[in-house]
Amino acid sequence: MNRFLLAILLFSSPLLAEEYTIYTKERPPFQISGIIDSNKTFYYFTNAHMPKCDIVANGCFMKTNVQAEIISEDIIKVGSSYYCSEDHIQARKKANPKPVPTRGGGYMDYGYGDCTKDGWQTKPMSHSD
């Protein structure tokens, strides 16, 4: 009976049940992303070999000592950088689903860009990206 109660407590824990929003700063050349917990502590994504994950939520996230500021539902500020939610980025990409040619060659892909205080800003991609 005690094991049963322990199992119920473990699986009903808010820590285990909590869902996280993934926020992205930029991509490419890298996808710099992270999550925040309920205390607004920032955790950065890592795919380093054999990391000790502080939170596992669609990837491995490492805790920092940095507090995030919530700008809006879709944008957070971490230090001097802005991070946009994946939902926000995907909505931007869905609004402009096809790569758009640019004058100097290359194209604009709305899934790539940088997050700013005003949201996801796309950037031109070269043919080699």
Q: Is residue 62 part of a domain?
A: yes
Q: pLDDT per residue over 19-64, tens digit each?
A: 899 999 988 767 789 999 999 999 999 877 667 889 988 888 999 9
Q: How many domains does the chain have?
A: 1
Residues in the chain: 129
Q: Is residue 80 part of a domain?
A: yes
Is residue 6 a part of any domain in this protein? no
In a domain, 49, yes or no: yes
Q: How far apart are CA 20 and CA 74, in angstroms?
A: 12
Q: How far is CA 32 from CA 3, 41, 73, 84, 91, in A?
A: 41, 16, 19, 11, 19
Residues of the domain holding 65: 19-125
- Is 8 part of any domain? no
Q: What is the pTM of this model?
A: 0.71
Q: Is 102 within 8 Å of 92 (Cβ atoms)?
A: no
- Tens digits of residue pLDDT in 90-104: 888 776 656 666 666
The reply to whether 5 falls in a domain is no
